[in-house]
């Protein structure tokens, strides 16, 4: 197992199995960049950690089931299923928050992390944001 794979596995554990937001911060370089479907491009470790803090607050008892796991040079790639129950507030990009829906979510996604000197410098997260919002019951009902 290479460095990228080891760092990615530690990130997954710190976000799901054994939530530890401080450990998450230690895994990102200070000038890291992350790309997410819901927040777009996020610059800097502190902002990325805040993104993950909001996610772990919203779904604190989450799991990640790995379907495929790869490593190519300095990059680790995971495809899997994130699942949990929304028991905490959901932060909106506007700064407002929605109360917990108490609904279960199960979302397939892909994480890609490029690692240098033991820290993530570039992170990409892909998941279907509409599916996520739909499972939370936050999409308007469609009328025929």
Return per-residue pLDDT of the chain as tens, 144 residues: 899 999 999 999 999 989 999 999 999 999 999 999 999 999 999 999 999 999 999 999 999 999 999 999 999 999 999 999 999 999 887 888 999 999 999 999 999 999 999 999 999 999 999 999 999 998 887 656
What pLDDT sits at residue 96? 87
Smallest CA-to-CA distance from 102 within 58, 141, 54 is with 58
Smallest CA-to-CA distance from 109 within 84, 141, 72, 143 is with 84
Q: In angstroms, rounded to a whole number, what is the distance separating the alpha carbons of residues 95 and 141? A: 24
Block residue for tokens 């299923």:
81
What pLDDT sits at residue 140? 85
What pLDDT sits at residue 141? 78
pTM of the model: 0.92
Q: Which helix (H) or strand (E) holds 32?
A: strand 28-36
What pLDDT sits at residue 143? 59
Q: In angstroms, rounded to a whole number, what is the distance separating the alpha carbons of residues 60 and 29? A: 24
DSSP type of residue 103: -
DSSP type of residue 39: T
């Amino acid at each position: 197992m290479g460095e990228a794979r080891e760092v990615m596995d530690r990130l997954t554990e710190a976000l799901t199995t054994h939530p530890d937001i401080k450990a998450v911060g230690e895994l990102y370089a200070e000038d890291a960049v992350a790309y997410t479907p819901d927040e777009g491009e996020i610059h800097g470790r502190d902002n990325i950690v805040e993104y993950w803090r909001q996610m772990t607050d919203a779904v604190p008892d989450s799991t990640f089931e790995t379907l495929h796991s790869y490593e190519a040079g300095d990059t680790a790639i995971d495809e899997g299923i994130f699942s949990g129950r929304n028991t905490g507030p959901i932060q909106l990009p506007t700064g407002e928050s929605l109360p917990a829906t108490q609904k279960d979510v199960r979302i397939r996604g892909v994480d890609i992390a490029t690692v240098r000197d033991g820290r993530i410098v570039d992170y990409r997260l892909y998941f279907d944001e509409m599916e996520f919002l739909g499972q939370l019951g936050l999409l308007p009902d469609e009328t025929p």
